[in-house]
Structure 1
Amino acid sequence: MKVFADQDKCVASGQCVLAAADVFDQREEDGIVVLLNDNPPVGLADDVRQAAALCPAVAIRVEE
């Protein structure tokens, strides 16, 4: 799995962090997504998929 986070699209809702805190974080100054791990372990795959589905700005993309 390969994960991409588009900081230009991000609206800082934080849904990705709530769904997969081991993979996503937010910048202190503006809440924009920070990708912590672009190749997460298999055990986090469902969480990452949920983060992508919950993102209101469609800023997260997952390639299987």
Structure 2
Amino acid sequence: MTFLDPRHPFFRPLWRRVAVVAACLGWGLFEFASGAPFWGILFTAAGAYAAWVLLIVFAPEE
């Protein structure tokens, strides 16, 4: 079991993958703006990981 499984059928549409990445990065920026750097770093790192897994190295199954 992985932290984020790109082979799950939920992540097949591109808009869902982009939405997950945008939500994580957006929430990280919100946390930085509200003065919570720990949570900002945590969510920004999760967004960067999600971008890597879901957008950069994503290989759709036929």
RCO comparison, higher one (Cα < 8 Å, 6+)? 1
Q: TM-score range with shorter-chain normalisation? A: 0.3 to 0.5
- Indicate the structure (1 or 2) with the bigger Cα radius of gyration: 2
Greater per-residue helix proportion: 2
